[in-house]
Amino acid sequence: MAFVPVADITLPVRTTATTIRSQDRARTTVKTASRRHIRVPAVVGHIVLIVVAFASIFPIYWMFATAFREPVDASAQTIFPWPLSLDSFTTVWQQIPILSMIGNTFVMALSVAACQLVIAILAAYGFSMWQFPGKNVLFLFFIGSWLVPFQVTMIPNYVLISQLGLLGTIAGVIVPNICSAFAVMLMRQHMQSFPRELIDAAHMDGRNSWGILLRVVLPNMRPALAALGIMLFIEAWNNYLWPALIFQHQSNALVQVGIRSFLGSEGDNWGAIMAASGLACLPIFLIYLFLQRYIVDGFVRSGLR
Amino acid sequence: MPISIRLAAVAVTAVAALALTGCVGGASAATSTGAAGSVATIPTLGPDQKVSITFESYNLAQAGAWTDTIQGLISTFESQHPNITVTGQAPATAAGANTSYISSVQTEMLAGNAPDVAQLTFDGLDYIANDMGAQPISQLVGEQAVQDAFGGQYPMNAKATKLGDWNGVTYGIPYVFSTPVLWYNATALADAGITHPDFSTWDGLEKVAQTLKAKTGTAPLTISCTVTGGDWCMQGIIKSNGGSIVSADHSTIEFGDDGSVGAVEEMRKLNDEGLLQNLDSASMYNAFASGKSLIQVQTSALQSMFMAGAKAGGWQLKNTTLPAFGTTPVAPTNSGSALFIMSKDPAKQAAAWEFIKFMTSPTAYEQISTKIGYLPLRDTMTEGDGPLAAWAKSNPLVAPNIAQLQKLQPWESYPGSNYSQISTIFSKAVEDSIYYGKDPKTTMQAAQQQAQALVK
């Protein structure tokens, strides 16, 4: 009987040792495989990211490269601009009031973004926190206005702006863009996911709706507000068609109109176009540089849904 | 608390910016008000009668020589006519198409803000005269006054003077235009052993292109007339082959006739031989300027761009007139524009007429030709001891352009309010026939029928 257990023990020991070894091998294989499994996608992922980054950065590089070429070399295909020249920037400086244009565009984009953000916050609060008859229908109208192409409303807006005497003014660009259905929808989504318990607690503490919005909801939505604000600012900054329609005089126009003025039926001045475009990008670059943390927070931590 | 202060600051900033920006910009455009439309002879402005007019010009949409020259001319005019103030403005449009200049004025008219004088392209002449409300200048100021304006020490080219007429009435005073010329990279041709290219006929052009293709392995030729935006010069190619675009009474579309189809077939043949590059218009002129296309039929207005490209690329730019189909006379058409009076106010009309006379005077063409490079419609200024003789002598590239002025055929405007859609149909049929394998005859004839259905 004694041997049996020994035998029983021995065999299992051998079996166990074998199993352990095989398990080790298996683990090793799994580890190796998993390492391979991890490494291969990581490499591929990095390659994809590098390609995407290159595809994103290269046009910007090419814009500045063309801007710094000598004007007669503007259409040259060499990767590195040489000899370097500031002539295109000088042309821009001399032919259009670029500084005042950038300043006007900044005022316009800031005003549009601020107005859209304020209206979005107020409208979203109403849509997400209150119950009232026709709420869903009203919200659908908001969303519906987002789906109407700008070209459809362009002429009626132009006539209205003309009647208001705002043609050729920055206010003429701002007024029709004072509300963004996209911003309202986005803020509503954020506010709907806001914990109701906090709202109820604030109510119990005696806060009214303004107090809840300003002291409870908004402080907790700063990343999302920052991200949305920057998105709205950039969208306003990049708006082209409406400013081009509103401004017919360069003296007080936006930078979009200034860039366009180097394009024409009699030929395009690519060096000046790229120099003006490069200058127009600088404020956005600076904003991104200083607000990078908020932007990343807004998109990653809070998330734009 | 801090957030509320910040939000309040944002709100205040937004409201302040709105108010401020509204104040800073200010409304600028004058509106055309006053008497209803009249065809009576307009009054002469009194010496102390102050009038302000707006002048809408697509040249003012382009920075540099274009804007500077036109603004300079406006200043000169104002100094000569202290009682007239002219505000120059670019079209309210984002696009650069001809129709967008007309639609800009339409939009402004809708807003009650039409310019008093507008620079509009010839392709919309029928629409401008019959539907848009352009004023009949020869009835406003009298036929003799129009002829006097065309005349003078350096009279306007006889072919050019008729371009703004519709049914015997002058609606537009021809202002600036160009003709289609054949540009070529003389250095590349010389490298291929072609030192004296024969571009007098399309057959000659084909042989040169074949030689270049054999040497370089790539299609050397680009013809901007064959793609969208090239309607005006394709009309010239068609007319050069005996084809017709529109009937003489402007009632029938005719670009499906044998001459038109024959011209399109010739272009198709060049494409089938691999000699043509299929690019859009802007890509074409950029390709030529950068040396990627060696021969191009293109507007003469791009001379300065091509000169810059040639200088950058180290090659010699040359040009010549539009090729002929065998012995059939070449019929180059004009691009460009005329000046129209849109105002219905007699005082503004009188001021507008003074301004138009100045902008088409020898003084103006001296500036326009030397600074912008447009063809001087008063071509006698380039002859003898004329004010542009030295300029023409030092710019041999303008010679083909001036030579073609003597053979000029009008850029036909399609009849009715659908002129733009008809132009699109025409260009698409031409492109489909040349580049996309459609049969030229059936395609052009089908397009003609489709276009005719749009004539109202």
Beta bridge mates, B295? B184, B221
Rg (CA), chain A: 30
Tell me the CATH number for domain B180-334+410-453.
3.40.190.10
The predicted structure's pLDDT at residue B97: 54
Closest by CA position to A67, among listed A282, A273, A284: A273
- Whether B21 and A170 lie within 8 Å, measured CB to CB: yes
Token pair 């005089």: residue: A249
**B136 CB-contact burial (10 Å; exposed 0-12 / middle 13-18 / buried 19+):** middle
| Residue partners of B246: CB distance under 8 A and separation at least 6 | B252, B253, B254, B412, B414, B415
Query: From residue B200, how far is each of B72, B223, B319 by CA, in Å?
Result: 40, 16, 12
- Whether A241 and B110 lie within 8 Å, measured CB to CB: no
The predicted structure's pLDDT at residue A28: 55
The predicted structure's pLDDT at residue B21: 35
The predicted structure's pLDDT at residue B48: 83
Mean pLDDT is lowest, of A37-51, A114-128, B123-137, B196-210, for: A37-51
Domain extents in chain B: 51-177+335-396, 180-334+410-453
Helices (H), B302-418: 303-313, 346-359, 362-367, 389-394, 399-405
Residue A246 in tokens? 């509103």
For the entire predicted model, the pTM comes to: 0.80
- Whether A171 and B21 lie within 8 Å, measured CB to CB: yes
Top-level class of domain A90-303: mainly alpha
The predicted structure's pLDDT at residue B308: 84
Domain extents in chain A: 3-67, 90-303
- Higher per-residue confidence, A47 vs A10: A47
| Residue partners of A153: CB distance under 8 A and separation at least 6 | A176
CB atoms within 10 A of CB A182: 17
* Å between B220 CA and nearest CA of chain A: 18
- Whether B17 and A174 lie within 8 Å, measured CB to CB: yes
| The pLDDT of residue A16 is above 70 | no
- Whether B282 and A268 lie within 8 Å, measured CB to CB: yes
Hey, what CATH topology would domain B51-177+335-396 get? D-Maltodextrin-Binding Protein; domain 2 (3.40.190)
Summarize the confidence of residues A289-298 as an average pLDDT.
75
Mean pLDDT by 10 residues, chain B (456 residues): 44 39 32 38 84 94 89 97 94 63 89 93 94 94 94 94 94 94 97 96 97 96 95 96 94 96 97 96 89 94 88 93 96 95 95 97 94 89 94 93 92 93 96 97 97 91
Residue-by-residue DSSP string for B296-327: EEEEGGGHHHHHHHHHHHT--EEEEPPPBSTT
Q: Are B266 and B322 in contact (CB under 8 A)?
A: no
> What phi and psi values does residue A190 have, to the nearest 5 degrees?
-65, -45
Q: Of the candidates B4, B22, B289, which has its C-beta nearest A166's C-beta?
A: B22
| Residue partners of A122: CB distance under 8 A and separation at least 6 | A213
DSSP state of B329: P
Residues 229-248 of B with CB under 8 A from A: none
Residues 306-365 of B with CB under 8 A from A: 308-309, 311-312
- Whether A111 and B308 lie within 8 Å, measured CB to CB: no
In A, minimum Cα distance to B28 occurs at A168
Mean pLDDT is lowest, of A50-64, A240-254, B162-176, for: A240-254
Chain B CB contacts of A104 under 8 Å are 21
Summarize the confidence of residues A80-106 as an average pLDDT.
91
Using CA atoms, how far apart are residues B359 and B380, in angstroms rounded to an integer? 17
Q: Of the candidates B61, B113, B289, which has its C-beta nearest A162's C-beta?
A: B113
Residue-by-residue DSSP string for B34-79: SSPP--SPPPPPPTT--EEEEEE-GGGGSTTHHHHHHHHHHHHHHH
Fold agreement between B51-177+335-396 and B180-334+410-453: yes
The predicted structure's pLDDT at residue A2: 36
Q: How confident is the model at residue A82 (pLDDT cuts 50, 70, 90)?
A: confident
Q: How confident is the model at residue A6 (pLDDT cuts 50, 70, 90)?
A: very low
Chain B CB contacts of A269 under 8 Å are 63-64
Mean pLDDT for all residues in chain A: 83
- Whether B62 and A250 lie within 8 Å, measured CB to CB: no
Q: Is the ipTM of this complex over 0.85?
A: no
Label residues A186-207 b or e (16+ Cβ within 10 Å = b).
Answer: bbbbbbeebeeeebeebeeeeb
DSSP state of B276: B
| The pLDDT of residue A248 is above 50 | yes
Using DSSP, state whether B340 is helix, strand or coil. Answer: strand
At A148-183, the pLDDT tens digits run 888 888 889 998 998 999 988 899 999 999 999 999
Mean pLDDT is lowest, of A117-126, A239-248, B320-329, B346-355, for: A239-248
Rounded to 10 degrees, the C-alpha dihedral A190/A191/A195/A197 comes to: 180
